[in-house]
Amino acid sequence: MRWSLALALLAGVAWAEDSSTSTSSSSSSESSDSTTSSSLALSDATTVTDASAAVPTGSYEVYSTTITLADGDHLTSTITQNSSATTTGNGTVVTTTHNSVTVLVGGAGTTTLGNSSMNATATTSSTSTAVATNTRPCNSYAEYCGRSYSNITMVAAHNSPFVRKGNAAANQEFTVKYQLDDGVRMLQFQVHNQNGTMELCHTSCSMLDVGTLEAYLTTVTEWIRNNPYDVVTLLMGNYDYVSPSHFVDPIKSSGLYDYVYTPTKIPMALDDWPTLSEMIITGKRAVIFMDYQANQTAYPWLMDEFSQIWETPFSPTSRAFPCTAQRPPGITNVQAKNRMYMANHNLNIELNLGSIDLLIPNSAVLNETNAVSGYGSLGKMARNCTAKWDRPPNFLLVDYYNDGNFNGSVFEVAAEMNNVTYNNQSCCGTASAAVPGMSTVTVSTMLLVAAGVQFFLSAF
């Protein structure tokens, strides 16, 4: 009995591998976008449906008016803050002084993005002095220097710290340093409170614990320090809904606080954000969001995600990837168009093995999920989102960013959204960082087999 169940699981995995091989050789043209995806049968008793995972329950901040900040961390006006529980390229770089802020400006000509346009050249200023051209200006593109933070599409690493070989709960193949080197500019992850220590765990610390928040942030801070022309965003999941005060010490002890950006308003509307050059010149190049329990009246720089960013459906298991606003619940189209947004494009398989209910990346179709075009692709979703909302997504949240229809395909999509040219020779990671001779698909499916066999054997 137990061996037949294990063999059934193996058969399901073999089907996934065969599917991956066959689909990778099929056409990825946009004409295939109408294809209907089928569920992945892991065994006779376990079938993955096309529903997204249950949305986390948490409190969403509601601001009745805007707070104006002065001197970085101090409030200049008071408001009523309500919290309601809901279940549901070539450019010459110059400096320009304007309003006492020196900015970098690079790139020639006018770039149109969605329904908005920006001029990336120097404009009227009190003083203008030519300086040496930077080799990596403003997140590696001179064109970004004159754009606002909210007018750029960034690749986001879903569960960035979780890079554990041999663990099914991992979501990335390369460590955070490689992620940043390759061009990832948003790092998303879960944080758990383990007896007062903020730990990076995926779902459960007994399943995958990759160390402390402070240690991870120390590595991020070192990268930021060594890359002075880059702005990095962190999105922290407050898994246990603890007070934001628990996050302050790790952020300060890691050195990250020295680079943290403090907004000028609470919350920041789409047009309130500074240009990347302003953030770079002032040295405030780390933007931190937290999903739940943020208290910006106490910690203005630890920003509440959902009053400033909305998300498409959470942890999707369907390849349809609709570009609808799911979190925060009840957001209107008018509100959505005045905030940044994140496209959740990390495709999952839902495993129901007895008492275990786990979402893991659907590695079998990564070459399609992270592709530039085709059904279920990141490129297709980004274009759909741009058409629907008249502007591209700000953040493209993906698993295994290095996999796709070619190395760096996710960055190609972001470059398209930003109307710049991506150099695909720069990606991804190093050969020594991966499991030798094994693809991500192979690793994940072997883990799936091991987990299933272990579970069924222990059940008898």
- Residue 174 CA: distances (Å) to CA of 77, 213, 402, 430, 431: 45, 18, 8, 8, 10
CB–CB of 350/317 below 8 Å?
Answer: yes
- The C-alpha atoms of residue 307 and residue 435 are separated, in whole angstroms, by 40
pLDDT at 62: 83
pLDDT at 134: 44
pLDDT reading at 93 higher than 60 = no
The model carries a pTM of 0.74
pLDDT band per the 50, 70, 90 thresholds, residue 72? low
Residue 330 or residue 30, greater confidence: 330
Mean pLDDT of 315-333: 95
Q: Are strands 81-86 and 154-157 parallel, antiparallel or unpaired?
A: unpaired
pLDDT band per the 50, 70, 90 thresholds, residue 53? low
Average pLDDT, whole number, for the chain? 76
Q: What percent of the chain has pLDDT over 90?
A: 56
- The C-alpha atoms of residue 188 and residue 112 are separated, in whole angstroms, by 28
Residue 101 or residue 379, greater confidence: 379
Q: For residue 327, what is the DSSP state?
A: B
CB–CB of 267/307 below 8 Å?
Answer: yes
Which long-range CB contacts under 8 A does 63-69 form with residues at least 24 apart?
Answer: 63/266, 63/267, 63/307, 66/265, 66/266, 66/267, 66/269, 67/265, 67/266, 67/296, 67/297, 67/300, 68/264, 68/265, 69/262, 69/263, 69/264, 69/265, 69/266, 69/300
Residue 128 or residue 272, greater confidence: 272
pLDDT at 315: 92
pLDDT reading at 456 higher than 60 = no
- The C-alpha atoms of residue 402 and residue 379 are separated, in whole angstroms, by 15
Residue 60 or residue 299, greater confidence: 299
- Does 267 sit behind a cis peptide bond, omega within 30 degrees of 0 on the bond before it? yes
CB–CB of 32/374 below 8 Å?
Answer: yes
Backbone conformation region of residue 140, classed left if phi is above 0, alpha if psi is from -120 to 50, else beta: left
CB–CB of 384/41 below 8 Å?
Answer: no
Residue 95 or residue 104, greater confidence: 104
The domain ranges of the chain are: 6-92+122-458
What is the helix (H) or strand (E) element at residue 181, kind and residue range?
A: helix 176-182
> Which range, 107-116, 165-174, 312-321, 431-440, is most confident?
312-321
- CATH code reported for the domain at 6-92+122-458: 3.20.20.190
Does 202 participate in catalysis according to the annotation? yes
pLDDT at 71: 59
Catalytic: which of 98, 202, 246, 345? 202
Kindly report the number of other CB atoms within 10 A of residue 133's CB atom. 13
pLDDT reading at 5 higher than 70 = no
pLDDT at 207: 84
- Residue 168 CA: distances (Å) to CA of 46, 201, 206, 427, 442: 17, 13, 13, 24, 12
Q: State pLDDT tens for residues 258-287.
A: 999 999 999 999 999 999 999 999 999 999
pLDDT at 107: 42
Catalytic: which of 74, 98, 158, 345? 158
Mean pLDDT of 168-179: 92
Mean pLDDT of 351-377: 88
pLDDT at 430: 62
CB–CB of 266/69 below 8 Å?
Answer: yes
Helix segments in 183-313, DSSP class H: 213-226, 245-253, 276-282
Place of tokens 């050969």: 431
Mean pLDDT of 45-62: 62
pLDDT at 423: 81
- The C-alpha atoms of residue 315 and residue 361 are separated, in whole angstroms, by 10
Does 246 participate in catalysis according to the annotation? no
Q: Which of helix, strand or coil describes residue 163?
A: coil
- The C-alpha atoms of residue 344 and residue 318 are separated, in whole angstroms, by 11
pLDDT at 440: 40
Residue among 288, 294, 204, 278 at smallest CA distance from 254: 288
Environment class of 90 (CB within 10 Å of its CB; exposed 0-12, middle 13-18, buried 19+): exposed
Mean pLDDT of 206-220: 95
Q: State pLDDT tens for residues 226-266.
A: 999 999 999 999 999 999 999 999 999 999 999 999 999 99
Token digits for 40?
A: 């992945």
pLDDT reading at 48 higher than 90 = no
Q: Angle at the Cα of 346 (from 340 to 352), degrees rounded to 5?
A: 130
Kindly report the number of other CB atoms within 10 A of residue 79's CB atom. 14
Q: Which of helix, strand or coil describes residue 145?
A: coil
pLDDT band per the 50, 70, 90 thresholds, residue 104? low
Q: What percent of the chain has pLDDT over 70?
A: 66
Residue among 246, 312, 256, 322 at smallest CA distance from 285: 256
